[in-house]
A and B are shown apart, each in its own frame.
Chain A
């Protein structure tokens, strides 16, 4: 079945690294995405990873994918107060066109 799970809250100090975790169940996932949502706004795509990759780095963001365990993580280096938001992971299923399956979202709180 299609299910994506995330922990709901994460609190870190400014300057620390944040790690947000996600697990998914569908083995036919092709691409996995990380989105950011700030209050009152839509979703902003941060990064994505193809399912046959293990890691992708994009400036302060590092995505790790363990396909065997169906586990995805997003690491934000040098976390800033402006990174406070809700982060969603999402999977795209190969035969499902424009359908994304989202996790519940992780609320990241960055304390100065």
Chain B
């Protein structure tokens, strides 16, 4: 079974631009979560999508948004990029349909650099 894939793996943008990152979950997984990883803040939860609906959201500004398609693939978008948005963005998928045990499988991440 193929793992979680993320594209692109590396991205360089300039301040003020916007960016879209893509995540394809493991086949059959309906939940996709996004995390931002930086040296200073560590791993922080952005949001989770389940069956095309945002089920949970972290404490990030509205510049960060996401969506999920009917095939469970997910995209996240960051508008008006700031230098502080430079980070590794990780996507995780899960087959969990409800609450409780939430075994998340992570992709390799997209390294975003904002200049």
Residues of A within 8 A of B (CB): 30-31, 35, 40-45, 48, 50, 88, 90, 92, 94-105
B50 x A98 contact (CB < 8 A): yes
Q: Tell whether, in the assembled complex, residue B108 and residue A100 are in contact, meaning their CB atoms are under 8 Å apart.
A: no
- A/B pair count, beta carbons within 8 Å: 73
Q: Contact: A104 with B45, CB < 8 Å? A: no
Which residue, of A50, A97, A98, A105, has the highest number of chain B Cβ atoms within 10 A?
A98
| Contact B90–A43 (Cβ < 8 Å) | yes
Known: A41-B108, A45-B104, A100-B33. A94 touches B99 (CB 8 A): yes
How many B residues, CB 8 Å from partner?
29
The residue of chain B having its C-beta at the shortest distance from the C-beta of A4 within the complex is: B42
Interface residues of B (CB under 8 A from A): 4, 31-33, 35, 42-45, 48, 50, 55-56, 58, 90, 92, 94, 96, 99-109
Q: Is the CB of B104 within 8 A of A98?
A: yes
The residue from B50, B90, B103, B109 contacting A97, defined by CB atoms under 8 A apart? B50
A94 and B100 contacting across the interface, CB-CB below 8 Å: yes
A21 to chain B, nearest CB (A): 16
